Amino acid sequence: MSIRKNASLLLLVCILCTVCKAQDKQQSVNQAAAVNALNPAARVIKFQVQPNYSVFKSGGQQLDLITRIVIPYDGVYLPFFKPKDKKYFTMVRVEIPVISQTYDPASPLNATGLGDINISEVLARKFSWGKIGFGPCIGFPAATEPVLGSGKWTAGLVAVAIYNKPKHLMLGIFVNQYFSYAGSSSRPSKNYLTAQPFIDYIFNKGYFIMVNPVCTFDWQEDNYIIPLAMGFGKAFAKNLSAYIMPEYIVSGSTKKSWVIQFNLNTMF
């Protein structure tokens, strides 16, 4: 009986050890997935769906559904030009918004449809402490309703800087500057910058918190929007993560308005 008991105990210990190793491995995979999900210059293909719900203090509400595609490749701006230094790579980022906004029943701002499409291409370089990248960006006047877009073709520059040497911490900023160069003559010119500083902390098991506001500075209209945003999320597997992030506008033309963001991110 003692031999059987010892054998059973040994089998149980082996099973527990196997389960613990599998759990540790999965936690490590989830943590790496969280890092890739939060890193805007991660060398993975991303397909994101991000609905944003806004409630404006002045009245009205808006629902944006942003589809975002990020594709990295080894070429320098053009796929067929391969760098010898593997520290360099390029990322193409496409954002397609669908917008529905409701104000007063008779408001001319009420509309639902496609918004303007933005595409950027960033040449990034990897360092021991993080990454730096820059490149061109372009905006297409694809809006199906005039109030949902600028009516202008825009172009400019995009830049990103990331510091992620600490194991669980990632700091950085993502900046876009756009200028209009063509489009409807009846629409005003565009000259604006968006700056997205971020502070992310990744916990074990793939959980993370993020401070990730998108500040907008409209140089043409002498206007700006500065929010305070903090979110919480989790990587569920190697190729899947999600987060939710409330945002409060602390300064600017839409001050005291609220935004709720939800992001579902798949990676390949």
Give the model's pLDDT for residue 20. 41
Where is average pLDDT lowest: 38-52, 79-93, 115-129, 245-259? 79-93
pLDDT class of 6 with cuts at 50, 70, 90: low
Higher-scoring residue by pLDDT: 265, 19:
265
Calculate mean pLDDT across residues 8-14.
Answer: 53
pLDDT class of 7 with cuts at 50, 70, 90: low
Of 245, 141, 257, 268, whose CA–CA distance to 196 is shortest? 245
pLDDT class of 22 with cuts at 50, 70, 90: very low
- Rounded CA-CA distance 137/151 in Å is 17
- Rounded CA-CA distance 184/141 in Å is 9
157: tokens are: 């520059």
- Rounded CA-CA distance 53/213 in Å is 15
- Rounded CA-CA distance 145/141 in Å is 10
Give the model's pLDDT for residue 77. 78
Concatenating the DSSP letter of every residue in 70-137 gives: EEEESSBSBTT---SSTTEEEEEEEEEEEEEEE-STT-TT-EEEE--EEEEEEEEEE-SSEEEEEEEE
Residue with tokens 């594709």: 71
- Rounded CA-CA distance 155/177 in Å is 8
Q: What is the pTM of this model?
A: 0.87
Calculate mean pLDDT across residues 132-139.
Answer: 96
- Rounded CA-CA distance 189/252 in Å is 20
Tens-digit pLDDT profile for residues 157-184: 999 999 999 989 999 999 999 999 999 9
Largest distance between two CA atoms of the chain: 92
Does residue 228 surpass a pLDDT of 50?
Answer: yes
Q: Are 177 and 193 in contact (CB under 8 A)?
A: yes
Tell the burial category of 108 from Cβ atoms under 10 Å away from its Cβ (0-12, 13-18, 19+): exposed
75: tokens are: 């070429």
Tens-digit pLDDT profile for residues 212-226: 999 999 999 999 999
Higher-scoring residue by pLDDT: 176, 29:
176
- Rounded CA-CA distance 268/95 in Å is 18
Strands 169-183 and 191-202 come out as antiparallel
**197: β partners:** 173
Number of domains in the chain: 1
What is the CATH number for 159? 2.40.160.40
Calculate mean pLDDT across residues 142-169.
Answer: 96
Residue with tokens 């509309």: 111
Its domain, for residue 242, covers 2-267
**112: β partners:** 100
Calculate mean pLDDT across residues 5-22.
Answer: 50
Give the model's pLDDT for residue 251. 94
